[in-house]
Structure 1
């Protein structure tokens, strides 16, 4: 038996045995690649711990430890609220730590955030002793550097991807094996509003452009309208099924990328089994830490970089609230600011903020004179460039406050344009 295989067998544990490595007061960091066996075991034994915190950017499954009755034992600390954690954040029993996605690794390295234990899903070990944590490379490599205890949940369904996402058996404290199907996420529903917005953005995308596609139905609606394009490239945060469809159409070749040509680059993956199978040992794809993929300077080295991200509300100056409903938390900053700035830096690049013109079945305008009191400014007025609704495109950079108000009112829902115009006059913008 080889040395790496011997190490593997020495470090193999059950999920329950791993819990003996966790101590009261520990701070556990979990990658986006959730290890279900480990988190299920921790859930089942959560009453045995005190003041254990679990930090994660995008919880996908609502494990039982996400429980208001047991927060004194195990408490979630969210870096970005999702469906599993949103209610707890709104009710105050889940903590929230704001940060741009690209800066999270430095927060761990500079010990602004503690790391006692690190958990992640991982591919099977290769013959050289390396595992791939491809589904959640994100801040994981930085957390690994600081963690005292490193536990990988090895699953034969997890892809082995290239890039800076490999962990050697010598770095690992314990191994848990599990063969459950990997968590899958389907494509979001796309309706006529999303299609209209997608069409406007698609018109700006030329053959040979490099794409960053954010989460949500509107970014995916853009992707669906790019299948006739040629020689597109991918430098993105999330690798998902929308991008996979674009690849399968033949529109993506990465040949025209001037930064990392012939390579797709991402930091985490979320989608279907088909997507995960596609990732496995695919030489065209590299998964890298988020301080590489989302660094505005590095991403902006791609000429003609097109970035597409959703928001919830935009005011007359162009301030974008993408993470709260007034003062009520909804999601988080994520990588939106990173890629807006990257698109602005890119030669020939464009950054798009996309949103439906209304909310609550047309009762509320998402284009507003000022953000709702308490709303979080995600993308600042100084960074935002293109804003797109189903009624058109507003281009804001280089425009005065008056011009911005005019541009944004023009893409608001017609039912609200009169009211918005009157308010703009009262604000001395028109």
Structure 2
């Protein structure tokens, strides 16, 4: 079948260059994409060339770029290289984009992923001039067959003044039926409860709606998603995963969670995949996932039957796994539900379902405050993403990381976090390769002892104990004792000397 089955929209087919020319300087552009899944492949590249040409001619041409989350070099990278972005939000992982944010030439707004849609609807980022959305196809009614991510596409299509569609023939049309697009969200005071009580509930429709009159261009493409191939799971990741899985087994044993656990959320990365791999050899079966992204490890669990169904907003698959997903899309759509991120990350739903969350971190301090975004307090890495949505609202919220970085020169456990994304109130447990510290029910000073003795690298434990004991001596308040003159001294030492070791 023709991927563009609607005659009126087929008549608007044009080249990526002609479509990009419809985006003007100063436009805010809502792009599809969540991780390297279903981001537009052609229009951003063509737009970057036009911006570069404008700059070469002495003309100012920059745009606002809004997405679901991170994208890929053809979008974030190309636009950053020509200094074409004024404001980027809400999450990014591109090296060129990160470089410009940290040098101050690109504005960046890092917000919770569940907050993006309502914040945009309220107009805080201004008008959305253009939406550029990749889809798998357009049916005869003009409805859009979503591709490998949903993200904020529903919102972009609803509110943009004009819409450019990329129809990517690389995606399988068998994806139709996998998605669950809910159109019942409202702003206060008209907000109503999200009608979900189980991760596998379907509450919406399988296609995206768009006003055909707003569509100004349709571009055909045929190009794969670009996600990084996952690194082989290393020993440290396996050790961290082992501690987390042992913790879950204990929670079942003492009766806090059922034998098939509660819905699982896992962040992106090697440790998350190690945890998922460990689940396949563990005692748990008939597990459900309520998460943001589906990685290779989750697909393996669906294949083995360990996970019954998984709900997310996007795939984040290596190239071989992405090809497998395309080839077996009809089979996987019975096991996978892809939703808008305002639903996949909705605080009310996360709390109601009792999600068990596992996310990565940059560092944690001895009292349990977690930094997941900034290196040495000021240099942004990627952004908070959805970790805050899940940390604040999950039944159990665990943060994981190797205990050191930079070849052992940086301790991930520090006296005071140089930036805080997740306060001690939202952190149930912290795990490194040395162990897992369950922090629930502990006062700050008891948390400190637990974290140092359980999670810190042995090379740094004596210095952490020394700081903690000193802080108790000099602090006038003993609830959370600190010596503010020394609390960030480890970070300053690294900046000055290249190591946190004294």
Structure-2-length-normalised TM-score = 0.77
| Aligned pairs (5 A) from 1:154-193 | 154-159=167-172, 160=175, 161-164=178-181, 166-168=207-209, 170-171=211-212, 172-193=215-236
What's 1:265 paired with? Answer: 311
Q: 2:416 aligns with which of 365, 370, 376?
A: 370
More displaced 10-residue stretch of structure 1: 30-39 or 135-144: 135-144
What's 2:427 paired with? Answer: 384
Q: Give, in whole Å, the separation in 1 of the partners of 2:110 and 2:414.
A: 24
CA drift at 1:121: 1.4
Q: Give, in whole Å, the separation in 1 of the partners of 2:105 and 2:79.
A: 9
Confirm or deny: 8 A CA contact 1:31 1:140 kept in the other structure: yes
Please state whether the residue corresponding to 2:463 is helix, strand or coil: helix
Q: 2:247 aligns with which of 193, 197, 204?
A: 204
- Aligned pair 1:112/2:112, yes or no? no
Greater percentage in helix:
2
Q: Give, in whole Å, the separation in 1 of the partners of 2:412 and 2:304.
A: 34
What's 1:407 paired with? Answer: 450
What's 1:325 paired with? Answer: 375
More displaced 10-residue stretch of structure 1: 24-33 or 205-214: 205-214
Confirm or deny: 8 A CA contact 1:323 1:330 kept in the other structure: yes
CA drift at 1:30: 1.0
Please state whether the residue corresponding to 1:427 is helix, strand or coil: helix
What's 2:18 paired with? Answer: 17
- Aligned pair 1:296/2:347, yes or no? yes
Q: Give, in whole Å, the separation in 1 of the partners of 2:244 and 2:179.
A: 31
Q: Give, in whole Å, the separation in 1 of the partners of 2:327 and 2:402.
A: 34
What's 2:115 paired with? Answer: 103
CA drift at 1:295: 1.3
- Aligned pair 1:396/2:439, yes or no? yes
Q: 1:94 aligns with which of 103, 106, 119?
A: 106
Q: Deviations over 1:227-279 (max 9, x none)?
A: 1331010111012212101111220114xxxxxxxxx3111222122234444
Q: Give, in whole Å, the separation in 1 of the partners of 2:296 and 2:154.
A: 25
Please state whether the residue corresponding to 1:45 is helix, strand or coil: helix
Confirm or deny: 8 A CA contact 1:237 1:290 kept in the other structure: yes
Compared CA separation, residues 25 and 173, structure 1 to 2 (3 A): same
CA drift at 1:61: 1.4
Q: Deviations over 1:9-36 (max 9, x none)?
A: 2221211221232222111111212111
Please state whether the residue corresponding to 1:265 is helix, strand or coil: strand
Q: Give, in whole Å, the separation in 1 of the partners of 2:210 and 2:432.
A: 49
CA drift at 1:54: 2.2
Q: How many equivalent pairs are there?
A: 410
Q: Give, in whole Å, the separation in 2 of the partners of 1:145 and 1:9.
A: 20
Confirm or deny: 8 A CA contact 1:197 1:389 kept in the other structure: yes
- RMSD after superposition: 2.3
CA drift at 1:382: 1.0
Q: Give, in whole Å, the separation in 2 of the partners of 1:83 and 1:279.
A: 29
What's 1:194 paired with? Answer: 237
5+ residue gaps, structure 2, are 55-59, 182-205, 253-258, 473-479, 482-502
What's 1:417 paired with? Answer: 461
CA drift at 1:405: 0.3
Compared CA separation, residues 135 and 76, structure 1 to 2 (3 A): farther
Q: Deviations over 1:180-210 (max 9, x none)?
A: 2232432234211110000111123354222
Confirm or deny: 8 A CA contact 1:200 1:392 kept in the other structure: yes
Confirm or deny: 8 A CA contact 1:367 1:412 kept in the other structure: yes
What's 2:391 paired with? Answer: 340
